[in-house]
Amino acid sequence: MDRKKFIKTSGLGIGLAFIPGISKSNIRSKKNASSDKLDPKIIKDKKGEVLNVLGDIQTHKLIGSETANQIVEWVDDVDPGVGIPPHIHTKEDEIFRVIKGQVEIMVDGKVSVLEAGDTAFAPKNIPHSWKVVGTEKAKMITSAFPSGIEHMFRDLAKLPAGPPDFEKVAKICGTHGISFV
């Protein structure tokens, strides 16, 4: 018997609605008060704030002001050869999910090539880096939590086009708790 049929015929679905602590009203009342003010959001593929962060074309889908500063999420659309050298975050953890292409990622000294469907987790205070490898552009969804790093990306996107001035980049990153190793 499939799950839907089981729930319908057993009455389990109806019974769960009456168990204390399971009803929607009880769940909502236990939420953090700040999350009650959050608005749901649907972001289509081509929507979001687009930033060119030193060749990493980022489309920001969710930012801290929309998530009670819990998370920021963006889509990286990156040419082969583009990446970020080894660095350490002191404020946020990151998750990288490859949607298309190949991304070589290093986390805590371990190097792997991620392909579509692969995910990596880089906790704060752990060195990590990434670079698009192969011959095609990569599309990667990156999440950072808590939020805040989006402010650094806006600052980096304001730098003039051309080869980046590493001293300026390092200074901007440093003010946001990120250092290169």
Q: Is residue 151 part of a domain?
A: yes
The verdict on 173 and 111 lying in the same domain is yes
13/126 Cα distance (integer angstroms): 44
Question: Is the Cβ–Cβ distance between 107 and 120 less than 8 Å?
Answer: yes
The verdict on 122 and 58 lying in the same domain is yes
Strands of 128-133's sheet, edge to edge?
A: 110-115, 102-107, 128-133, 83-89, 178-180
Residue 35 tokens, joined: 């999350």
Residue 151 tokens, joined: 């402010």
Question: Is the Cβ–Cβ distance between 106 and 62 less than 8 Å?
Answer: no
Across the range 148-163, mean pLDDT stands at 95
The verdict on 70 and 152 lying in the same domain is yes
The verdict on 109 and 24 lying in the same domain is no
The verdict on 14 and 59 lying in the same domain is no
The verdict on 20 and 61 lying in the same domain is no
Residue ranges making up the domain that contains 167: 49-180
- Total domain count for the chain? 2
Name 132's bridge partners. Answer: 103
Name 52's bridge partners. Answer: 57
User: In this predicted structure, what is the pLDDT of residue 162?
Assistant: 86
Q: Is residue 35 part of a domain?
A: no
What is the per-residue pLDDT across 113-154, written as a single tens digit (0 to 9) for each?
999 999 999 999 999 999 999 999 999 999 999 999 999 999
Name 57's bridge partners. Answer: 52, 77
